[in-house]
């Protein structure tokens, strides 16, 4: 089930990434000016990398895996910055956008499970512990 959730998240993330990069670069709102060949390659690469990066934030048990504040910043910074760089419509900035997403994905894959974020206890267990500690004091 975990692979299915992450696969679905990667697919949906890639579609959203393709739409975002496509709108920013003008691929989806094609004008009379033809775009160079590399614009399509970087568009596809950026969309797929955005989807994979988004999929790393899916918790295997369900829901979102927020991780620590450093890991959260990876997606918050890399995805919009890559869209901004790709919208400049030059080969160097488009390649830099893809490299930025690849770096963010590599960082998240390498350190995603290494975050020292404490797992919150369910509310019922916390309430039971409080009752137990109060009962011991009386």
11-56 pLDDT, tens digit per residue, is 888 898 888 888 877 777 776 777 788 888 888 898 888 888 888 8
pLDDT score for 54: 82
For 136, what's the count of Cα atoms within 13 Å in the CB-facing half-sphere?
Answer: 6
| Bridge partners, residue 58, by sequence | 64
Q: How confident is the model at residue 136 (pLDDT cuts 50, 70, 90)?
A: low
Quick one: average pLDDT of 106-135?
A: 62
Whether 14 contacts 79, CB under 8 Å: no
pTM for the full model?
A: 0.69
Percent of the chain past pLDDT 90, that is, above it, reads 0
As a whole number of angstroms, the distance between CA 25 and CA 20 comes to 9
Domain ranges of the chain: 2-137
């Amino acid at each position: 089930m975990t692979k299915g959730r992450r696969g679905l998240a990667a697919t949906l993330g890639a579609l959203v990434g393709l739409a975002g990069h496509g709108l920013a670069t003008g691929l989806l709102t094609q004008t009379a000016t033809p775009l160079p060949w590399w614009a399509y390659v970087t568009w596809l690469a950026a969309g797929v990398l955005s989807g994979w990066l988004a999929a790393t934030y899916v918790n295997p048990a369900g829901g979102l895996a927020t991780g620590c504040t450093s890991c959260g910043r990876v997606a918050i910074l890399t995805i919009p910055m890559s869209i901004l760089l790709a919208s400049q419509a030059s080969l160097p900035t488009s390649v830099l956008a893809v490299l930025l997403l690849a770096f963010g994905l590599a960082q998240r894959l390498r350190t995603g499970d290494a975050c020292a974020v404490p797992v919150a206890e369910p509310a019922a267990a916390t309430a039971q512990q409080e009752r137990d500690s109060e009962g011991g004091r009386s």
